[in-house]
């Protein structure tokens, strides 16, 4: 924590950096939920390997984001897919993060098996990754914090590569 505080004095971070880390934890959690279904829903070996890679990469990034927030004494969300909320004029509004699947889409994917699962998984995961890339690009264009920049760059590179694979 002391190192993070010293780094933060030297390398400031913004509310946008905090929001990116917080929201990306939830975004990654949904991708992990989707990927966890691959072995139990008759996914092809190729989709199962891709899903396993997604789980490994995104669990690592979630731990990194949670530690970054904790080191800066910010609230650390659990790794759960939740909707973004925004308060305006005393009212809380739900906002959809780019690429996040709706409850109906998640139910449709959970109900699918075999080739149908593969096709829906790939379709939805491509859109999900495109949303994560958009979120990462937005913060990459504005952050001055090297740790946030590094994570945003990693999300962009890793998920662009996975989209190409899909």
Q: What is the pLDDT of residues 33-87, one digit of tens each?
A: 999 999 999 999 999 999 999 999 999 999 999 999 998 899 999 998 876 555 6
Q: What is the pLDDT of residues 76-121, one digit of tens each?
A: 999 988 765 556 677 765 667 889 999 999 999 999 999 999 999 9
Count the Cβ atoms, other than its own, within 10 Å of residue 48. 16
**Rounded alpha-carbon distances, angstroms, from residue 108 to 36, 51, 83, 123:** 15, 17, 18, 12
Work out the end-to-end distance of the chain between its first and last CA atoms, rounded to an integer number of angstroms.
39
């Amino acid at each position: 924590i002391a190192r993070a505080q010293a780094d933060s004095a030297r390398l400031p971070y913004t509310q946008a950096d905090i929001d990116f880390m917080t929201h990306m934890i939830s975004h990654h959690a949904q991708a992990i939920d989707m990927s966890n279904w691959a072995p139990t829903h008759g996914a092809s070996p190729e989709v199962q390997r891709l899903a396993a890679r997604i789980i490994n990469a995104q669990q690592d990034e979630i731990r990194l984001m949670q530690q970054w927030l904790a080191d800066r004494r910010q609230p650390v969300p659990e790794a759960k897919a939740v909707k973004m909320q925004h308060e305006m004029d005393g009212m809380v509004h739900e906002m959809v993060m780019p690429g996040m699947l709706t409850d109906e889409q998640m139910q449709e994917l959970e109900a699918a098996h075999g080739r149908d699962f593969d096709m829906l998984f790939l379709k939805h995961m491509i859109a999900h990754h495109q949303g994560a890339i958009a979120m990462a690009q937005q913060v990459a264009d504005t952050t001055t914090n090297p740790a946030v920049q590094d994570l945003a760059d990693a999300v962009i590179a890793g998920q662009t590569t996975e989209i190409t694979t899909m």
